Amino acid sequence: MALVLGGLVSAGAIWAVQRQVRARSAPFLFTASDAVPSRFTGIVLGCRVNEGDVSRCLEERLQRAWELYRAGTVRRLLLSGDHGRRGYDEVNAMKAWLVARGVPLEHIFLDHAGFDTYDTMVRARDIFQVTDAVVVSQAFHLPRAVYLARSCGIDAVGVAADPPQGSACRGSAVREPLACMKAWWNVSWNAAPRFEGEAIPITGSPVASFDQPADTLMRSEEWVRGPAVASGRKDDHGPIRSRR
């Protein structure tokens, strides 16, 4: 009986937290057909890549971000994802997709240490000094993402990346109740991100966030000074600047 009661209490707490997350973010959520408020930065959240090719879920996010950029709704794109181990790289795959469609490299910033949505938003605020943003993700994920961004002090709105026929990754919604609980916990305890670093202001040059030499269009003394570690990327010796 005690186990049953404990389970009910836990389920009730998870439900209450998810409801709170949704309520706090609801006024700031938009669909593609809405007039999305302009912000300086578009934050594109990473997702699975397969041998350098973006997944359908990630392509939905990139497509929406590209549309926002073309419309002038956002002026810079912060691509945040997992590049924490050799041979797996979400952010450069995202960058390649956008550059191939005409987004200037100088308007793209890479966060190689966006291992989860909370880390992305803390690092957007602290490393990239983002103050306002349009967050791009699927509708099931967007309430949590915008809740986290706004909890970090970013004036954020969110726009759903779902195509008219429905998202390829809508099945992932089953994890949202527990993910919302984790998000609430991180916010409540002001958890530290896995990696920190020095500032790479979103209003300046993105060169310090690049890790592939061919990308450094403005290859100059700015690159030679070498502040690239601040983006959380890996060098030949693995991840750097860990806080823990």
Nearest to 94 by CA among 42, 130, 32: 42
% of residues, the chain, pLDDT over 90: 69
**By the 8 A CB rule, do 77 and 206 touch?**
no
pTM: 0.85
Query: Can you give the residue ranges of every domain in the chain?
Result: 2-231
**By mean pLDDT, which of 26-30, 51-55, 69-73, 153-157 is the weakest?**
51-55
**By the 8 A CB rule, do 37 and 138 touch?**
no
Which residues 6+ apart lie within 8 Å of 30 measured at CB? 36, 37, 157, 158, 159, 160
How many CA atoms within 13 Å lie on the side-chain side of 225?
9
Nearest to 78 by CA among 98, 100, 60: 98
Strands 155-160 and 41-45 turn out to be unpaired
Residue 106 CB neighbour total at 10 angstroms: 12
**Residue 222 pLDDT > 90:** no
Classified as helix, coil or strand, 140 is coil
Residue 22 CB neighbour total at 10 angstroms: 17
Residue 218 CB neighbour total at 10 angstroms: 13
What are the tens digits of pLDDT across the range 38-64?
Answer: 999 999 999 989 888 999 999 999 999
pLDDT band at 214 (very low <50, low <70, confident <90, very high): low
**By the 8 A CB rule, do 162 and 207 touch?**
no
What are the tens digits of pLDDT across the range 23-38?
Answer: 999 999 998 778 899 9
DSSP string, 112-133: TB--SHHHHHHHHHHTS---EE
For residue 7, what are the CA distances in angstroms to 4, 12, 175, 184? 5, 8, 17, 19
